[in-house]
A and B are shown apart, each in its own frame.
Chain A
Amino acid sequence: MTPPAGSLLSADQLRKAYGPTLALDGAEFSIHPGEVVAVMGPSGSGKSTLLHCLAGIVPPDSGTITYNGRELSAMSDAQRSALRRSDFGFVFQFGQLVPELTCVENVALPLRLNGTSRKEAERAALSWMERLEVDDLRKKRPGEVSGGQGQRVAVARSLVTNPRVLFADEPTGALDSLNGERVMELLTDAARSTNAAVVLVTHEARVAAYSDREIVVRDGKSRDMERVV
């Protein structure tokens, strides 16, 4: 099936099983540049698996994923890794910052992996940290900052390479509502300012409210809520 016109990333008939458990069962998805799409659903419905498949982290058992006209399943692991370094950004529920590195080193890490020099990477990192209001934490290690601050550092890290798609898996799941909202505001503002698409996995309606469109995943199948509404 051809991807929807103008879509940056799309998926068709995705199936993925972990042993006897079927995580995705014919799921579909598409997202346009600059669009924020929330993937919602109860625990265990397959929404994180969908995100992992879309990002090329986990290969689906069947179905196609197309990014910018290229089919992900036709790429080698190394090519998909390179794509994740250059075009994608990630935010996870618990930040997953490297505890040994300082905050600025954590934010600079994706750029350094791409071969950018340390100085230049840290300069870019600092500018993103300023935008996310955590530049004062640059010399601190993740263990020395609060959960909300750490998550903002993680958002800065995900945006530092100017990704075309940002994948956020329960980015506010470990935060209180105040901190969660602030992180979402900063994340969506920053993404929109760079025209990055955001795939936002969440089960919280107030988080999903920051999206342009919602997709509900249940029992491995996806439904586009925009069309229903």
Chain B
Amino acid sequence: MNVRQWAADLMLGVRFAFTGGREGWTRAVLTAVGVGLGVALLLLTTALPNALTVRHDREAARSDITFAIQPMPKANDTLVIADVDEDFRDKQVRGRAMEPEGPRAPLPPGVDEFPAVGEMVVSPALKELLDSDSGALLGERLPYRIVGTISEEGLIGSAELAYYRGAEGLAEHITPGNVERIDRFGDPEPVEEQSDPVLILLILVVFVVLLMPVAVFIAAAVRFGGERRDRRLAALRLVGSDSRMTRRIAAGEAMAGAILGLLFGAGFFMVGRQLAGSAEVYRISVFPSYLNPSPALALLVAVAVPAAAVLVTLFALRGVVIEPLGVVRAGRPARRRLWWRLLLPLAGLAMLYPMIGNGRDNGDFNQYLVTGGVVLLLVGVTALLPWIVESVVARLGSGGVAWQLAVRRLQLSSGTAARMVNGIAVAVAGAIALQMLFAGVDDDYTKSTGQDVSWAQMEAILPSGVPLDRAAEKFRDTKGVKAVFAYSESWLGDRPQDPDNGTTLTVGDCAALREIARLPSCAEGDVFVVHGAEWDGEEDVTKLAAPGRKLYVDPSYEGGPERPAVPWTMPEGVKAAKPRTGLLAGIDRGGFLMTREAMPDAFAPALDGHAYLRLDESVPDVHDLVRNTTAAIDPLADAMTWASTERTDRFDAIRTGLFVGAACVLALIGASLLVSQLEQLRERKKLLSALVAFGTRRRTLSLSVLWQTAIPIVLGLLLASVVGLTLGTVLLKMTGTPVGVDWTGVLAMTGIGAGVVLVVTLCSLPPLLRLMRPEGLRTE
């Protein structure tokens, strides 16, 4: 056999893929669309690492608030910048107030010139929001004139809401982490984030779990139109091609479909890349330019997809004998054997076994073993499912006509049915395992904030110098605010600089003080010392409370900014009080409590204001109404919405990635199911019309289609649950986490899988009803 003959056969196959009139083109396009969707998803995956790197680099290039302890002196190349981030509904708005101190002050990336006081430059997404009706509420908080747009290099996503505004007098408020003086943007000493082995494991498994169904999907897509292709090959045998030639021609056809699919995939990817610029998923958006696939990985996709298509086709033709007078299956197909199918998942378990008990503290997991093990376990689903479907449907008894039609069809070609649900089963098995792993390690990444949202739902932090009473009044007047507990806070030390002993000072009215401590009695002018708070050494507080003892409000520390500490002499009659947990974010407030009248006026500049707000959350946009009030009180004031827990950003990002990926994969598999379902129905057009002609009810035929899909999917989901639970258990044991099954998660994942099939079946009903029309009997 020479190369020329091979090439000629393959080319003939390529020609067959596109000839045959409308029918031929439809088949080729269906295959190409299927493969193309898979390829687009693969290309997207190869582009993701780059997108994340670009986002990370852009974020690093614009970093400004560096929590510098040592204040930088004012110079002609310095800029004072304040973090004035906002929240609007459930979105974050990155905000910075800037005051250049000289002509060489650094400009932030993406900004051409400094906005003057009363002006701002905004991201395109923020501009759009402010221009819309829904942004009016945010507009009240940002009453600045828009003088420019932040360009792409200053943003980390197309939907990012961000602005820079001009400001003055910021230098007075310099505080690390909030208002800082800088001479450049970008972190000069970036700290490499330590990789957490469990997070790396999660990322690996997420990738494998999401990509496996795509591979299964591509394998299914290249088999679209298989029956018709077999008939064509038989015709070729009739005119003299031998069985090897026909196989090569079939391979050529599959390759053509796959190559067209690659082109479609590249097209879908380019379209998707552009669309990605206008989409935001789970608060993450990207610019199209971020999504550049790594050339090596893109090349791998370009080679692997056609190669896989050819291999799958040749594998599918194994049991088929193409004879000149038609295609026959090789006798009665041999009964599927279980032993080698079981070997795959067992080999997967064997690869994962050495890492059991590894935990977080014993270094990274072996990436090759993890990937290999998970792949083999999931491939095991695709290997076991045809055997299970075959074994079960062979035992299914009789029932109504719809049931009988469905069961008989499954008995005749259980492989087709199993192939149809393979993708879903793999996706569900992987998702169940990941759900278990996420639920198991969730506690490690979820911290309690200590904020008791039943006491207060928002907290406003007011800079020093803002009159607290007036601020509290404004909050009370805000729609939706039920109660306001306002405190002024500072730190008391036994020396004006570097004190040995110190504690907190909290000023408020009696009602507010009662919320944070158990007071024996309270009248204006009282001072209390709180014993037994969690963070205050009792001995120190007692010593500090000695009448006549001199203390200093707002002392300064070595290395920190110099502060004008205000002296205060401990009065007589300080009352003892007990701490009370509740309002202050779970912290026992210790130290000294002071009523307003007892506070010397000189303290005022040294105190920060805190207002804890109880809200009526049924009032629409109540959080934004409070934020607007906060901004009106002082532009540097900050309003925070309370939450009882907070989670590590990266953990959340991986979880989000999983959900986004799973949604894409399930949509893709759903599309594939629909295409193959429609193809099967089209193949049976004439038979369906004949059945209707002799009076078969449409309901009977629709029901039989439903059964035909439902039986394999139930089996597939059962197998997926078993494999998913096994894999989840192994992964949890690997991370050293107690094994627990999140049954809600298992049910949710299987439910979603079943839902996809139901939707596909419902979508295939209208074409089924159309195909059942008697016109299908016409041949002329």
Using a CB–CB cutoff of 8 Å, the interface residues on chain A facing chain B are 18, 43-44, 48-49, 52, 55, 57-58, 81-86, 88-90, 92, 94, 96, 98-101, 105, 109-110, 112-113, 118, 141, 157-158, 169
Contacts and interface: CB of A to CB of B under 8 A. Distances in A.
22 contacts: A18-B775, A44-B780, A48-B777, A52-B777, A58-B775, A81-B695, A81-B697, A84-B695, A88-B694, A96-B691, A100-B409, A109-B401, A109-B696, A110-B694, A110-B695, A113-B401, A113-B695, A113-B696, A113-B700, A141-B412, A157-B694, A158-B694
B693 A55 contact: yes
Interface residues of B, number: 25
B635 interface: no
Interface string B396-409: 00100100110011
B330 to A, nearest CB: 14
Contact of A84 (B687, B693, B778, B779): B693
B692 interface: yes
Contacts of A18: 775, 778
A121 B398 CA distance: 13
B401 A43 contact: no
A84 B774 contact: no
B211 to A, nearest CB: 35
Interface string B724-748: 0000000000000000000000000
A92 B692 contact: no
Contacts of A105: 404, 408
Contacts of A55: 693
Interface string B477-495: 0000000000000000000
Contacts of A113: 401, 694-697, 700
Contacts of A58: 774-775
A3 to B, nearest CB: 23
Nearest to A167: B693
A86 B694 CA distance: 9
A101 B408 contact: yes
A197 to B, nearest CB: 16
Contacts of A90: 690, 693-694
Contact of A52 (B401, B695, B774): B774
Closest 3 CB pairs of A and B: A85-B695, A96-B690, A100-B408
Interface in B678-699: 686-687, 690-697
Contacts of A85: 694-696
Interface in B388-426: 398, 401, 404-405, 408-409, 411-412
A139 to B, nearest CB: 13
B774 A96 contact: no
Contacts of B778: 18, 48-49
Contacts of A86: 695
Contacts of B409: 100
Contacts of A118: 398
Interface string B550-579: 000000000000000000000000000000
A193 B99 CA distance: 106
Contacts, number: 78
Given A81-B697, A101-B404, A57 B777 contact: yes
Given A101-B405, A105-B408, A96 B687 contact: yes
A74 B661 CA distance: 55
B745 to A, nearest CB: 38
A83 B695 CA distance: 8
A141 B398 CA distance: 17
Nearest to A93: B779
Contacts of A48: 777-780
Interface in B656-696: 686-687, 690-696
A57 B693 contact: yes
Contacts of A49: 778
Nearest to A59: B774
Nearest to A170: B779
Contacts of B775: 18, 58
Nearest to B698: A81
Interface in B732-780: 774-775, 777-780
A201 B780 CA distance: 14
B707 to A, nearest CB: 12
Nearest to A95: B690
Nearest to A43: B780
Contact of B405 (A44, A81, A100): A100
Nearest to B413: A100
Contact of B411 (A100, A157, A169): A100
B719 to A, nearest CB: 24
A69 to B, nearest CB: 20
Contacts of B700: 113
A112 B401 CA distance: 7
A57 B386 CA distance: 39
B405 A92 contact: no
Contacts of B686: 94, 96
Contacts of A158: 694
A102 to B, nearest CB: 8
Given A83-B695, A100-B411, A169-B777, 9 more contacts: A58-B774, A82-B695, A84-B695, A88-B694, A88-B695, A90-B693, A92-B690, A100-B405, A158-B694
Given A81-B695, A84-B693, A84-B694, A57 B405 contact: no
A95 to B, nearest CB: 9
Contacts of A110: 694-695
Contacts of B404: 101, 105, 112
Contacts of B693: 52, 55, 57, 84, 90
A98 B704 CA distance: 13
Contacts of B779: 48
Nearest to A58: B774
For A57, A89, A92, A99, the residue with the greatest tally of chain B CB atoms inside 10 Å of its CB is A57
Contacts of A169: 777
A18 B778 CA distance: 11
Contacts of B697: 81, 113
Contacts of A89: 694
B390 to A, nearest CB: 14
Contacts of A94: 686
Interface string B84-114: 0000000000000000000000000000000
Contacts of B412: 99-100, 141
Contacts of B401: 109, 112-113
Contacts of B691: 96, 98
A130 B780 CA distance: 35
Interface in B355-414: 398, 401, 404-405, 408-409, 411-412
Contacts of A141: 412
Contact of B687 (A43, A44, A98): A98
A98 B778 CA distance: 18
B141 to A, nearest CB: 63
A201 B401 CA distance: 30
Given A101-B405, A113-B401, A92 B695 contact: no
B407 to A, nearest CB: 8
Contacts of B408: 98, 100-101, 105
B227 to A, nearest CB: 11
A226 to B, nearest CB: 26
B106 to A, nearest CB: 73
Contact of A98 (B398, B405, B411, B780): B405
Nearest to B693: A57
A90 B694 CA distance: 6
A36 B313 CA distance: 51
B741 to A, nearest CB: 39
Q: Which of A48, A92, A94, A169 has the most CB of B within 10 A?
A: A92
A153 B479 CA distance: 81
Contacts of B774: 52, 57-58
A169 B691 CA distance: 15
Contacts of B687: 96, 98-99
A99 B412 CA distance: 9
A81 B697 CA distance: 7
Contacts of A98: 405, 408, 687, 691
